[in-house]
Amino acid sequence: MRSIQTVIAINAPASVVWSILTDVAAYPAWNPFIRDFQGELVEGARLRVSIAPEGAAPMTFRPTVIRCIPGRELTWLGRVLLPGLFDGEHSFRIESDGAGVRFIHEETFRGLLVPLLWQRIADPTRAGFEAMNRALKQRAEAMVVEWAA
């Protein structure tokens, strides 16, 4: 098992961050990592997610939503071919901290192929998470400024 976790502080309410995360049709307009996202954000639903990690080949996969707690968490489980071969549990968590939120973006990888592929996927995946986090922060904070004006 291997994990990648990134965290960023966002000066916006959880409701704003959640609204951006759940507006999946808008992902291509702002998200440098998840370039296409289709599906219903309810537990048990199958999604279609296309990622474009910097320095790695783009990939499309069909994960299943395993947790969707409005305003707090979205988690899906993706698999390559068979369970236990290469599984990724990807989550977005929003934790209010008074002035804004902490956005926690992580993925835990399990399966027989993880040790073989880790060196190839770890750095581009982390860079993709961080790029998405920065873009989410910029979009959420800009929305708050717009609303305040």
Q: Structurally, how many domains does the chain consist of? A: 1
- The domain that contains 58 carries what CATH number? 3.30.530.20
**pLDDT tens for each residue of 20-47:** 999 999 999 999 999 999 999 999 999 9
pLDDT confidence of residue 149: 57
pLDDT confidence of residue 81: 83
Distance CA(67)–CA(55), nearest Å, equals 30
Q: Does residue 104 belong to any structural domain of this protein?
A: no
Answer yes or no: is pLDDT of 7 > 90: yes
Report the predicted TM-score, pTM, of the whole model to 2 decimal places.
0.93
**pLDDT tens for each residue of 81-128:** 888 999 999 999 999 988 899 999 999 999 999 999 999 999 999 999
Q: Does residue 23 belong to any structural domain of this protein?
A: yes
Distance CA(114)–CA(98), nearest Å, equals 38
Q: Does residue 149 belong to any structural domain of this protein?
A: no
Beta bridge partners of 131: none
